[in-house]
Amino acid sequence: MKAKQKNEPADSKLPMSAQIRREAMAWFWVGLAFLLINGAVGQARVIPSGSMEKTLLVGDHLIMSRIGYDAGVPFTNWHVPLWRNPKRQQMIIFTPPYAPGQTDLVKRVIGLPGDVLDLHGGSVWINGKKLEETYTTGPTEPAPFGQTPPGIAEVKFPYVVPAGCYFAMGDNRGNSYDSRFWGCVPREDIIGTPEMIYMSLDAGSDAWEPGQIRERFLAYGNALLHPGTVRWGRLFHTF
């Protein structure tokens, strides 16, 4: 009597073309899930400049949460603002209102809609009360005259933050191109908030500028060869 053969996997009985179609559909759904998460839940960002020092350093790699702030289609400019609004002194990620096509910026919300904001004595004053800030580097001064972008009115203080707008500044007050230069950030331009540093590399700012693919790969390769360039103490720091 012949031994009873084990059941063969159902996939092995399918023609090769059907197996390929099934595999392609599986990867399609994986890709679609990634796009939905990337567009509505979270994205990765890297810090290319020192405008947020000492809170964020050049080479910090961030995970950004979009939950409640914005939803959009990845790799397009289409997005929809959601229900959450940022709080004072919270960090936000937004598209620059003076140049929507440029790289997203990371700054800290200082003025809320309706606030009367003033700068004097190296400090920020909100509605006549000095704002306590422990995260800044250097004194807070108005932008030098004549450095606003073309077509944008100079920001004068006291400044009343318009409805639906937020006044945002970098923590490194002497090296931050922010609302002091080009005005407030419209709510619809805010896309999320930093949640965690998942990697931090001590490399020059050239490696993290948009389009610098070669320099970026060299920075990653250097980290593999020289682990000391990784700022291990900053990994998995949350905000």
pLDDT, one tens digit per residue, over 104-123 is 899 999 999 999 999 999 99
Residue range 189-198: average pLDDT?
91
Using the predicted structure, report yes or no on whether residue 183 has a pLDDT greater than 90.
Answer: yes
Phi-psi map region of 146: left, alpha, beta (phi>0 left; psi -120 to 50 alpha):
left
Find the helix or strand (DSSP H, E) in which 236 lies.
none
233 band by pLDDT with thresholds 50, 70 and 90: very high
Predicted local distance difference test score (pLDDT) of residue 65: 86
The top-level CATH class assigned to 38-238 is mainly beta
Using the predicted structure, report yes or no on whether residue 97 has a pLDDT greater than 50.
Answer: yes
Tell me: the pLDDT tens digits for 123-170? Answer: 999 999 999 999 999 999 999 887 888 888 889 999 999 999 999 999
Average pLDDT in the chain? 84
Q: Of 71-85, 112-126, 212-226, which range is least confident?
A: 71-85
Residue range 202-224: average pLDDT?
89
Tell me: the pLDDT tens digits for 10-64? Answer: 555 667 666 666 666 655 554 444 444 444 445 678 899 999 999 999 999 998 8
Strand pairing of 129-130 and 91-94?
unpaired
How far apart CA 121 and CA 68 sit, in angstroms, is 37
Predicted local distance difference test score (pLDDT) of residue 26: 58
Predicted local distance difference test score (pLDDT) of residue 230: 94
- Catalytic residue set: 51, 107
For the chain, the domains span 38-238
**Cβ of 174: how many Cβ atoms within 10 Å?**
13
